[in-house]
Amino acid sequence: MAVTFVHGGPDALGVPLFDFSTNSNACGPCPHALAAVQQADATRYPDPQYTALRAQLADFHGVDAARVLLAASASEFIHRISAWHRGQGVCLPQHHYGDYAQAAQAWGLVAADAQCAQLLWACEPSSPLGQAHPDVAALVDGLQAHQSVVLDCAYAPLRLEGAPSLDAAHMDRVWQMWTPNKALGLTGIRAAYVIAPLGVDIAPLQALCPSWPVGAHGVAMLQAWCQPASQHWLAQSLVTLRAWKARQTILCLTLGWECLPSTANFFCARPPGEDLGLRLQRLRARGVKLRDATSFGLPGYVRLGVLPPGAQDALGRG
């Protein structure tokens, strides 16, 4: 059966002038990270063991380097850990990133509840809602020895309010999947990393990994991610994003849209009235792209990344 991939960002019409359809940090790109990527030496292979990079990431998170795995992207790791659990039970959030289900289908995983599944997915802030994952701490507390929880941390650096649901002890019990390209405003650079649960053997997942999953540009981005300059820029960008988000929410409410709560740099909203598909086509023709949330299990809603006031004004005119 053919699988239809639905994503935000550029499409057959090219790069949208005002792209609300992705959750990338609209303050980006981070200047420090961009410079590092531009200066990367693409004439040489990276160290196949990523020794220095893994040490940097481990130091950044305060964990042992033996717990750090590199991944070509979050999507690559989603497929890799699904392959590791091939034919077993999987528990997905009610609304979730489509690659979780697509990888489960590809590797023959079967839907199961949290008590019976061997692989359980969580995301906080969640996509598409940008909310806390329901009862995730209780989920981790109830883990059995044969179960794995993967916490998708893609939007953790872009949390604009609130606090994580999991403390350090809980985080040591889950697979943490990090994709800094969104927070750095560099989504075109495909690179990710994973922190394994404390005491878990990562060799089986390493054995499923192709050689050199991350190229020179991805290595440069991840190294820059660990640097104080990038983290300072990110902290400053969150201040700006909070102000933009408040303005964008008011705009949507003024337009008569129903806005759902969110703690991140994006939120879901339901426009009133006319057919949503026609509305999205008309907006796209004017250079404004929104993300239809139907594929997330939210028909009638769109997901909007927070953009600067000029882009918001274009949305208002649409």
178-206: per-residue pLDDT in tens?
Answer: 999 999 999 999 999 999 999 999 999 99
Complete edge-to-edge strand list for the sheet that includes strand 291-292:
258-259, 266-270, 302-305, 291-292
pLDDT of residue 1 exceeding 80: no
Closest CA to 277 of 307, 313, 302, 248: 302
**Topology, domain 39-227:** Aspartate Aminotransferase; domain 2 (3.40.640)
Is the Cα dihedral 264, 270, 271, 275 positive or negative? positive
pLDDT of residue 128 exceeding 70: yes
Whole-number pLDDT of residue 3:
47
pLDDT of residue 65 exceeding 50: yes
Going by pLDDT thresholds of 50, 70 and 90, the confidence category of residue 158 is very high
Give the Å distances, CA to CA, from 34 to 30, 70, 220, 221, 257. 6, 20, 9, 8, 36
Please tell me the distance from the alpha carbon of residue 258 to that of residue 124, in angstroms, as a whole number. 22
CATH number, span 18-23+230-317: 3.90.1150.10
Give the Å distances, CA to CA, from 68 to 33, 83, 127, 196, 226. 21, 19, 24, 6, 14
Tell me the mean pLDDT in the region 251-256. Answer: 97
Domain locations in the chain as residue ranges? 18-23+230-317, 39-227
Tell me the mean pLDDT in the region 270-279. Answer: 89
Going by pLDDT thresholds of 50, 70 and 90, the confidence category of residue 4 is low
Give the single-character DSSP code of 261: -
Whole-number pLDDT of residue 5:
60
pLDDT of residue 62 exceeding 80: yes
- Domains 18-23+230-317 and 39-227 belong to one CATH topology: no
